[in-house]
Each structure stands twice: as structure tokens, then as C-alpha cells.
Chains A and B, each alone.
Chain A
């Protein structure tokens, strides 16, 4: 039987790698499952100058290599594999890979990332890898001295268009907005407007890509006049946003309508012990810096969860005697009185009944697991099973009656 990890991270982009760093520095047994080389989309983004502290000659692949080195330095294991299925129904979570391996962990941090969106316009599918590309870093040098088109006008589109000008003779950007309007950040827009190799086609969309074996031309449609224009080109690069790679999670955790992982501020999904980080998470800004932040938060939340689970198991589920588990809060006076009642009852029983106290504000997870809505609440466990419970205030006689059910 393979080992059970404390934290298994699915996907080695910046979010997953940051989770690995925080997990292993907390001395948790942490592994990252990654399909190829770590770094995610950032590893194929050459121009990257917005990760704090890195702006001189920095590249996506180089920064991502440092992330991976950092995680491994503190003991994160990077495993090779593609997750195709998960089983989150038991206390030990399972992740199954395409080659049939099953990895087990107490906590899973999902960091599957996103992939470039395709527009499915005519000719796009057929000419992929034959002039149609979604990765400038991968394919730019094919287009030395050739002419290419870029579709899109967000950060990625404009930054990658500038990267392409180092190779291509000309780069024509097709922009759906009116002249001068780009969705990208202002710094990149200013640079791009000054770049003499970049040409602009405004108020337009791509209608069709033509070519027999390689891309030969494109048909561009002006959205104001509906006029169609055919232009010769050698390549078409799409940067029109991304879609989350979460198909394998459908039905296993809560996803948004668009397929993003739904989480709260602690990166928790609707399944306890399962977290979502990075570009596949439903959030406002998808950047390396936010992915890394997600990863750190998830790893710390997972660490707290593991500690809570472990002490609960030791004190309650694995206890040799029946145990009264009291949910209380120092702010709720009634619950402090209730603890007094339980202590006196337990004392009377000598060592026959254990007492465990849970501050509900600090242990929200366990409180939620047992649907505790009132403070105080007491639940009686015997050999890990619930014997009975009282929700709300109680007397010593009530507790005696509860113990009588054993």
C-alpha cells in the first residue's frame, strides 16, 4: 500500500507549487501531482513582469522553475501523472491517474488550472499545429520573417503579440472594440502602440481560417458593417481567455455554471478537506500572484483542518471510554455554565466517562460536521459512534439520562 499524504496537490502551476511550499514547510507530508513539467500556463508565458520582485529579464519559465525548486527544497514530492478521477467520499481522499495509479491523502488541494479557450471558428480545429496556435512561446520561432495574426486584446494577447514581434515580420491584432480600446493593462497597451511591427484591425472578429495543409489566409469580419475581408497570413494565435480544466471534478465537488471550482475565502470547497486554488477557482483576478496566494491560504487551512481532525480522533473517536463532546464558546455565558455541569457529572463517574471540549469558534469544521447550531450542545460518543445528543442548555439530570442510553 502506497503512503497516505497529508496534502496531495493536484496540478503543479504556481498555486499548487505555493501550496507545496507552505505544506512542506509546515512539516506535512506533501506531494504535487503534475502532468509534465511544473509551472502551469506561466511556464509557457515568456513575457512576465508583474510578479512582485521579478521584473529584470524575468521570464515565466524561469520564475516557475524557481517555484518548483523552492517546493522541492522544503521536501515537496513532485509526482508525475494526470488526474482523471477522484473519490472524496471517505475520510481518506483518493485521486486516480490516467495510468491507473491511486494516490491517497487526508487533504486534497485542487489546482488543475485552465487552458486556452478555442473559438471553434471555421478552420480553427483543422489547422491546429499547422499555423493555428495558442502558445507563442512554443511556436513563435516558426514564424520568423512571416506574418501572423493575434486574436484577442487582454493582457495575454497584447503581451504575447509583443513577444511575437521578436520573430515575425508583422503581427496584426484583431480587436473587437472600437479603435484605441484594449482590455489589457495600460502599461502593455502603451508599449504595444509604440511597437512598429504591430498592426491593428479594430471593431472586427475572425470569421474563418483558410488553408489546405497550412494556414494561408483569414477572413475578418467588421462587426459594424458586417463587411468580410480576406487577408493572407501564415499564422493565427488565439488569446481569448481560458476555460478551467475541471471536467474530472464534475459531480465530485461544487462547480460554478462555467465550471470553475466554488470556494470560500479559505479556499475550501463544499467537501471538507478539499480545497481549490489558482485559475480553476471562481475568482476575480487570475494571475501568478493570486494563484500563489490561493495556494498559501489553502495549505494553511489544510494544516488547521488536519490538526483539528487529529485531536478530535484522539480525544473522541478513538477514546476507550464513552466521551461527552461539549460544543461551547467562551463568549457564550450559558455554555460556560454547561461545561460546569458536564465537569461535575464526569467527575462523579470517575474515569468511566471522558469529557472533550470544543470551542466552536475555533473548530468550525467539526461543529459543521455535527450540525451544531446551538451553543451549548453536547454529543455522547461511545466507540466512535454517536449515542445521543442535547442541543441547547441542559441540567445534570439531562446529562445523566443521556448517559443512561449507553
Chain B
């Protein structure tokens, strides 16, 4: 997975063509840490379908807020730089990674 920062976010996500998945996370967020292995498996199993990225929001707070992300964990799908779908904490905790896989299959 690509580690996003202030420096590469625009190039890797907003100016990128095709489908991009971004995991907004932070090491202090227990739910994020719990989901991390699932996200890594998702990325490993779906290599060709999207570009998989993650953004540690600690230190990139303004960047996250600019993307209207103000809670963790949040997963966002971008297509050609446009935000087209997102999953927030509640959905992720109750529905797990399976729904993200479904969405990915639908969008890819």
C-alpha cells in the first residue's frame, strides 16, 4: 500500500486516473488498528482493481479535514480524483471489510 503524505496526496489521489482507495487511520485509533490486517489483505487480494493507499492522519490533520474526514477509521474511494464512496467507523465496525470488498467489485 502507498503511504500518503501532504507531499504526495494530490499526485497519488486527486490527480490520479482510475480507482483509488484511501484508508484514513491513526496508530492511536483502536478500530483502525483492528482493521489494518483486513485492509492489507484487501489490497493484496485485489491488486489490479484499484490503487490502495493509506494516510496516517496524525501529522496530516488538515489534509484529512480538507477531504471532509473528521473521524476514524474512514475508508474513501476516489475515481479520477473525485470522492465517490466512503465508509465510516460505525459501518466498518458492524459490517466489516466484506462490504468494502463488495463496493470495490461494484466500482472496479
A-B contacts, 19 of them at CB < 8 A, read A35-B34, A37-B33, A37-B34, A44-B29, A44-B31, A128-B90, A129-B71, A129-B72, A129-B89, A130-B68, A130-B70, A130-B71, A132-B71, A138-B26, A138-B28, A138-B29, A139-B71, A142-B71, A234-B70
Q: Are A138 and B30 in contact (CB under 8 A)?
A: yes
Q: Known pairs A130-B88, A141-B28; list 4 more (Cβ under 8 Å).
A: A36-B33, A128-B88, A135-B89, A142-B70
In the bound complex, CA of A308 to CA of B34 (Å): 38
Closest to A37 in B: B34
Count, chain A residues at interface, CB 8 A = 28
| A142:B33 contact, CB within 8 angstroms | no
Contact segment of B1-9, B43-51, B57-65 = B57-65
Given the contacts A98-B98, A144-B61, A138 and B70 also touching, CB distance less than 8 Å? no
Contact of B72 among A82, A99, A139 (CB under 8 A): A139
- Taking CB atoms, residues of chain B closer than 8 Å to A99 are 98
For chain B, residues 2 to 60, give those with C-beta under 8 angstroms from any C-beta of chain A: 26, 28-35, 57-58
Total A-B residue contacts, Cβ distance less than 8 Å = 81
Chain A: minimal CB distance from B51 (Å): 22
| Binary contact readout A102-144 vs B (1 if CB under 8 angstroms, 0 otherwise) | 0000000000000000000000000011111101011101101
B residues lining the A interface (CB < 8 Å): 26, 28-35, 57-58, 61, 64-65, 68-74, 88-90, 93, 96, 98
- Asked if A133 contacts B30 (CB within 8 A), the reply is no
Of residues 211 through 254 on chain A, the ones whose CB sits less than 8 Å from some CB of chain B are 213-215, 234-235
Expressed in whole angstroms, the minimum distance between the Cβ of A280 and any Cβ of chain B is: 16
Q: Is the CB of A235 within 8 A of B70?
A: yes
A214 to B64, CA, bound (A): 12
A137 touches B28 (CB 8 A): yes
